[in-house]
């Protein structure tokens, strides 16, 4: 990936950081897709909501594949993706339930 340089030679740090984060999240999710295991808290409302809402476009990823901090970023990214795809946005209650679920079951730093 080539990052455009300004005239003075300094990299666009914010843009480069965003691209790097997107690439990292994509790589982690790609690896997670290779190893399917049962989702934590099987059968609970948070697990079912997560599987239903996040499984509309892709298989829901095991929350243990990312840290809580990574899930915070991913939730933000996916809400933009849902909007761009014309999907119904998460309600505030759904957002809280899903965010709490994935961060509670996230992998450790």
Mean pLDDT of the chain: 83
**Between these two residues, 71 and 23, which has the higher pLDDT value?**
71
The average pLDDT across 60-78 equals 97
Q: For residue 57, give every residue at least 6 positions away whose Cβ sits within 8 Å of its Cβ, in sequence order, or none.
A: 81, 85, 87
What per-residue confidence (pLDDT) applies to 61?
A: 95
Q: Is residue 25 part of a domain?
A: yes
- Inside any domain, residue 1: no
Per DSSP, the three-state class of 5 is strand
Mean pLDDT over residues 23-41, rounded? Answer: 66
Q: pLDDT confidence of 77, banded at 50, 70, 90?
A: very high
Q: Is residue 75 a part of any domain in this protein?
A: yes
Task: Please report whether residue 3 resides in a domain.
Answer: no
Can you give the residue range of the structural domain that contains 99? 13-104
pLDDT at 49 over 70: yes
pLDDT over 80 (residue 52)? yes
Number of domains in the chain: 1
Query: Considering the domain boundaries, does residue 24 fall inside one?
Result: yes
């Amino acid at each position: 990936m080539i990052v455009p340089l300004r005239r003075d030679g300094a990299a666009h740090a914010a843009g480069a950081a965003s691209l790097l984060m997107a690439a990292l999240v994509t790589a982690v999710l790609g690896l997670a897709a290779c190893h399917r295991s049962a989702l934590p808290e099987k059968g609970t409302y948070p697990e079912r909501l997560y599987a239903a809402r996040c499984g509309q476009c892709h298989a829901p990823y095991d929350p243990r594949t990312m840290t809580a901090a990574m899930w915070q970023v991913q939730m933000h990214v996916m809400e933009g993706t849902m909007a761009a795809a014309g999907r119904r946005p998460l309600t505030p209650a759904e957002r809280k339930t899903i965010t709490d679920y994935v961060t509670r079951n996230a992998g450790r730093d």
